């Protein structure tokens, strides 16, 4: 019955194409068996080339890891052997009691007991194998690992560093010569390299020019499609409008008269001034329509307006009839409503009234869009005042 096998020691450590070719192992009967388990892959793939020795150096770290894996393998097998031995022992014990208490007798009973005795013996053999795997063989691997690999303070193994430094030192002059040779070869091939690169680059440049030209044409077409002014329906919608440009006339005192507006309520005709001194430079253009300006109260022009020339006078000079003046006189003859001032108010312009809180005055018109009313003070002065500054007097 086979009880185990022991891995032998490496018998050869020659560095070269035949390095570590033969591994010796002891088989049954103490015979030595050799097998080519480690080949020369590192050297067949160019291990002598610069930097390729790293795979050889890596075998040192791999050897340390393989020692740990081998010990783990032994430990797992030892657990299996122990479990199997205990199961055999329990099985033999249980069936031995069954046979002793059973009706079997004579030689068959002895044969049955011999079967259980064989199981007990086999259990002892497996326990012995478990003991050797867990103690003797595992400790042997650990001791060899401890002697073969020495850890450094900064990490790694001393053997790995020494081997790497040795390879690096051996390759240093060769690497320098190889670098010089590579530079010479590179300089010799540089003109051809530049020529080939320029040729390919010119092809890519031409392809890029074609793409840019195509994109330009596409964008121009899109711009044409999106230009609504070029559509026939949009062009005919305007009906050939007359092109005329406004030309400013020279300044004259007659055209720059200041305008004073007394009436600030509503949009009456006396608040409208028509300017007709704008000349068109278009030859066949139709005359521009008069520009109408609303002189309603939107801003304060107290510094520019004059009380001497009213809008009515300017309108009269421009041909407006005398009807507006008559209407104003009739409007002033309307009987007013008595109101009392709630707050003090100081007129900001000449046509505005000033009064104190509690003072009474006559309201001569309704509030306009700007919030102003026309009224008369007790002294007879007529002017404008804020509508929300007064309230009606109860009769």
Reported as a single tens digit per residue, the pLDDT across 277-304 is 444 444 444 444 444 444 444 444 444 4
CB 52 within 8 A of CB 108: no
Of residues 178 and 205, more confidence is placed in 205
Residue 357 lies in a domain: yes
- How high is the pLDDT of residue 120? 93
- How high is the pLDDT of residue 33? 45
Separation CA 364–CA 225 (nearest Å): 65
Q: Mean pLDDT for the chain?
A: 74
Residue 20 lies in a domain: no
What is the full DSSP assignment across 124-178? HHHHHHHHIIIIIIHHHHHHHHHHH--B-TTSSBHHHHHHHHHHHHHHHHHHHHH
| Range of the structural domain that residue 319 is part of | 250-333
Position 230 confidence tier, pLDDT thresholds 50, 70, 90: confident
CB neighbour class for 219 (10 Å; exposed up to 12, middle 13-18, buried from 19)? exposed
**Do 320 and 395 fall within a single domain?**
no
Mean pLDDT of 219-244: 73
**Do 383 and 309 fall within a single domain?**
no
- In the three-class reduction of DSSP (H, G, I as helix; E, B as strand; rest coil), residue 386 is classed as strand
Reported as a single tens digit per residue, the pLDDT across 33-51 is 444 445 555 555 567 788 8
**Do 134 and 52 fall within a single domain?**
yes
**Do 350 and 329 fall within a single domain?**
no
Whether the predicted pLDDT of 129 surpasses 60:
yes
CB neighbour class for 355 (10 Å; exposed up to 12, middle 13-18, buried from 19)? buried
**Do 258 and 324 fall within a single domain?**
yes
Where does the chain have alpha helices with state H?
41-44, 54-101, 106-131, 138-148, 158-226, 232-238, 311-317, 323-332
**Do 278 and 318 fall within a single domain?**
yes
> Considering 101, 126, 149, which residue would you say is the last residue of a domain?
149
Position 261 confidence tier, pLDDT thresholds 50, 70, 90: very low
**Do 309 and 345 fall within a single domain?**
no
Question: Strand 372-376's sheet: what is its strand order?
Answer: 382-386, 372-376, 360-363, 337-341, 390-392
**Do 323 and 353 fall within a single domain?**
no
Whether the predicted pLDDT of 22 surpasses 50:
no
**Do 76 and 51 fall within a single domain?**
yes
- How high is the pLDDT of residue 34? 43
**Do 273 and 283 fall within a single domain?**
yes
Separation CA 65–CA 69 (nearest Å): 6
Whether the predicted pLDDT of 2 surpasses 60:
no
Position 7 confidence tier, pLDDT thresholds 50, 70, 90: very low
Whether the predicted pLDDT of 113 surpasses 60:
yes
CB 319 within 8 A of CB 337: no
Beta strands 23-26 and 6-7, pairing class? antiparallel
> Considering 283, 307, 333, which residue would you say is the last residue of a domain?
333
Whether the predicted pLDDT of 29 surpasses 70:
no
What's the domain count of the chain?
3
> Considering 93, 114, 149, which residue would you say is the last residue of a domain?
149
Among 11-25, 65-79, 143-157, 208-222, the minimum mean pLDDT is found in 11-25
Q: What is the CATH number of the domain that holds 87?
A: 1.20.1270.60
**Do 326 and 342 fall within a single domain?**
no
**Do 281 and 307 fall within a single domain?**
yes
Separation CA 56–CA 346 (nearest Å): 107
Whether the predicted pLDDT of 71 surpasses 80:
yes
- How high is the pLDDT of residue 237? 57
- How high is the pLDDT of residue 225? 82
Position 240 confidence tier, pLDDT thresholds 50, 70, 90: low
Whether the predicted pLDDT of 306 surpasses 50:
no
Residue 18 lies in a domain: no
Mean pLDDT of 112-133: 93
């Amino acid at each position: 019955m086979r009880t185990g096998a022991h891995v032998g020691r490496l018998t050869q450590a020659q560095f070269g194409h035949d390095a570590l070719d033969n591994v010796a192992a002891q088989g049954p009967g103490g015979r030595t068996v050799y097998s080519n388990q480690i080949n020369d892959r590192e050297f067949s793939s160019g291990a002598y080339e610069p930097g390729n020795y790293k795979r050889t150096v890596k075998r040192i770290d791999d050897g340390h890891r393989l020692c740990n894996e081998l010990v783990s393998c032994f430990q797992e097998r030892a657990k299996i052997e122990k479990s199997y031995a205990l199961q055999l022992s329990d099985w033999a014990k249980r069936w031995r009691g069954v046979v002793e208490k059973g009706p079997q007798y004579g030689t068959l009973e002895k044969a049955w007991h011999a079967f259980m005795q064989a199981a007990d013996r086999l259990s002892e053999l497996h326990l012995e194998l478990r003991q050797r795997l867990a103690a003797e063989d595992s400790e042997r691997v650990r001791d060899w690992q401890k002697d073969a690999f020495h850890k450094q303070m900064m990490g790694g193994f001393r053997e790995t560093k020494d081997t790497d430094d040795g390879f690096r030192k051996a390759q240093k002059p060769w690497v320098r010569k190889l670098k010089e040779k590579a530079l010479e070869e590179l300089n010799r091939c540089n003109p051809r390299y530049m020529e080939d690169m320029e040729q390919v680059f010119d092809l890519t440049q031409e392809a890029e020019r074609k793409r840019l030209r195509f994109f330009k044409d596409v964008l121009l077409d899109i711009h044409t499609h999106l230009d609504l002014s070029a559509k026939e329906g949009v062009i005919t919608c305007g009906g050939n409008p007359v092109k005329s440009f406004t030309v400013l006339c020279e300044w004259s005192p007659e055209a720059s008269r200041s305008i004073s507006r007394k009436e600030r309520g509503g949009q009456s005709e006396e608040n409208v001034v028509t300017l007709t001194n704008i000349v068109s430079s278009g030859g066949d253009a139709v005359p521009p329509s008069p520009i109408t300006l609303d002189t309603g109260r939107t801003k304060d022009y107290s510094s520019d307006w004059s009380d001497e020339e009213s809008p009515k006078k300017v309108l009269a000079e421009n041909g407006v009839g005398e009807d507006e003046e008559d209407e104003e006189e009739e409007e002033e003859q309307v009987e007013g409503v008595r109101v009392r001032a709630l707050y003090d108010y100081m007129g900001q312009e000449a046509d505005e009234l000033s009064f104190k809180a509690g003072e009474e005055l006559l309201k001569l018109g309704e509030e306009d869009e700007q919030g102003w009313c026309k009224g008369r003070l007790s002294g007879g002065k007529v002017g404008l005042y804020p509508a929300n500054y007064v309230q009606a007097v109860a009769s």
